[in-house]
Structure 1
């Protein structure tokens, strides 16, 4: 079953004896039924706790409950852009959030990481995300979006909590990417299955701390099929029992290896996060967040098995 582009389950269909299972009309009907049920399951999920209770393997912390209530769907797609994200640990996450907005000719996105791993970090993330959405929905650009988050955190927490972030705007008609990095790990660009560069421009100070340094806007022109890789420091800084970090080279290696297998974008995200979890024996010392944004001419087909590039 699929809700738009997010695979949420499997539906078993039992056909009558003698039915031609290769009948195109039968397959088309099954396709529509599964998509309709996927939408219904997602819509009904908002009106009760039954489905969520079935999915949970153990209780969430209060801060994790707060963060998950704020997140958009983990996967989404249009004819021009596909987005896939993931947060871990799913039941204890505190300060990491991401958001995006997909329009007819553009895609806006952010990854935000507030300091701490408690409810205060969750509250800071919630306040920062609200400030970002408010600025974006009021038609403000990247400078104003970042400044809105900065002013909100500074006013509410007085410098006791700050955040790093990456703000981005992608023109899906031309491939022009404009971005702003606030004390956050630099995004990567993956092209034809290889990480080809780190986006090192577009800098501003940390959000929530008064720091008088310059602000610059970064710009990159993507090629069709390019993927922007955004992540929080919990991924490269993940440590195993001997204290060895997961590291950026391993992050790049897993991205390239999984991309070469032609699997859908959301599954690349899942496999990378799984590799990070295994590196730490499933015990994260910090929140680990990954968001992939792909500019594409194949659209939602990239979410189907065997169609990823």
Structure 2
């Protein structure tokens, strides 16, 4: 009786080829030193018949995908993000297949959640649905391993760094959350310039239940003093976000931290936002920043003005909160003053009108998604400024889709 019941109710837990392949990587990677991750990945890809494996990581300026060195890896030249198959896979988060004389070259995005870590490239003689499915899952596991091991080594940082980086920039990059996040209801992306010398600009976000919390800041000054202020401002913001609820309390906590630590002659400009990703309701505190731009159907619809609130650190003011209602597909572009105050030919400031014209011009082209569109805007603005970024210049974009994501929690 017992045997019959066991036979009727038992589940097949035998290990198939795909599980063995992914399981071997998972089992070995846990204790493997960072420098041996690359050979292990190449070994696992070879079991599927893959060869010439490359792991490509984005450089800090978001211009190139740089090959990670390592035994058994194919290490070629960096590939440009613009116009290359690797760049297309990275920016769009989709697999790109390029037929070759002997086989197919695959470029698989390495996604940590929705944040692009890099690209895994490999060549196979033949490619079918089974290989596509297995390699897609392998790429997801490789991304997770790279993110985990990144905390234990400088190897990945050194690969991504293409020129000397200032101490203040090192501090700022260590503060940042992932540069992108994408869930069905909302997407965000951010970019910092100059990547290797940024000091006082930063941003932060967190999605807690249905509320997306966002902060974009600009600490006065340059160098380590600005980086120190930005560090305390972001630390205070995160603490307040995890303890308090309202924007007013977040602002007050940051204001108190900066004024106590640095005194009355130092300040941090900031934008603090709550976005309800289910309804599109947005609350905004603008403490000394240029007004965000509301982009609707590819064009700037309005500047999201709000009553002036003093920058963080001046002490004690009750912030003024403005309510806005987003429509599905709306984008909100936040930017710091380094974008519009840069001097162009003739010595005049770049200005908000030029920024809006650039946004509208790019909006006439087909959208490739929030991250590639923001990167394209950043590089366009830099060209329009004559290649100069003498002050920190930050862009942060939100795109609201609405709807729900509960269906994703149900397994087929």
Match of 2:88 in 1: none
Q: How far has the Cα of 1:298 moved from its partner?
A: 8.2
TM alignment of 1:41-80, pairs within 5 A: 41-80=146-185
Q: How far has the Cα of 1:202 moved from its partner?
A: 4.7
- 2:297 aligned with 1:192: yes
Distance 1:29 1:193 in 2: 37
Match of 1:244 in 2: 348
Match of 2:338 in 1: 234
Match of 2:117 in 1: 8
- 2:358 aligned with 1:254: yes
SS in 1 for 2:123: coil
- 2:208 aligned with 1:99: no
- 2:138 aligned with 1:33: yes
TM alignment of 1:102-121, pairs within 5 A: 102-121=207-226
Q: 1:143 aligns with which of 240, 248, 262?
A: 248
Q: How far has the Cα of 1:289 moved from its partner?
A: 0.2
Match of 2:36 in 1: none
The more displaced of 145-154 and 280-289 is 280-289
Q: How far has the Cα of 1:299 moved from its partner?
A: 9.5
Distance 2:404 2:385 in 1: 35
SS in 1 for 2:240: helix
Q: How far has the Cα of 1:241 moved from its partner?
A: 4.1
Structure 1 pair 44–258 and aligned structure 2 pair: CA distance change class (3 A): farther
Distance 2:214 2:134 in 1: 35
Distance 1:299 1:85 in 2: 24
SS in 2 for 1:77: strand
The more displaced of 25-34 and 95-104 is 25-34
Greater relative contact order structure (CA < 8 Å, 6+ sep): 1
Distance 2:368 2:361 in 1: 10
Distance 2:338 2:237 in 1: 22
Q: 1:154 aligns with which of 246, 259, 266?
A: 259
Structure 1 pair 288–299 and aligned structure 2 pair: CA distance change class (3 A): farther
Distance 1:151 1:211 in 2: 8
Distance 2:359 2:136 in 1: 31
Contact 1:238 1:279 in 2 (8 A): no
Q: 1:270 aligns with which of 369, 372, 375?
A: 375
Distance 1:145 1:269 in 2: 27
Distance 2:392 2:298 in 1: 26
Contact 1:165 1:183 in 2 (8 A): yes
SS in 2 for 1:12: strand
Q: How far has the Cα of 1:7 moved from its partner?
A: 2.6
Q: How far has the Cα of 1:262 moved from its partner?
A: 1.4
Distance 1:14 1:279 in 2: 39
Q: How far has the Cα of 1:107 moved from its partner?
A: 0.5
Q: How far has the Cα of 1:132 moved from its partner?
A: 0.6
Distance 1:193 1:283 in 2: 26
CA offset digits 1:237-281 (Å, max 9, x no partner): 122243233221222222233343211211122122212322344
Distance 2:194 2:273 in 1: 25
Structure 1: gaps of 5 or more residues? 301-309
SS in 1 for 2:253: helix
Structure 2: gaps of 5 or more residues? 1-109, 406-412
Aligned positions, number: 295
SS in 1 for 2:339: coil
Distance 1:202 1:29 in 2: 54
Distance 1:255 1:103 in 2: 30
**Normalising by structure 2, what TM-score?**
0.68
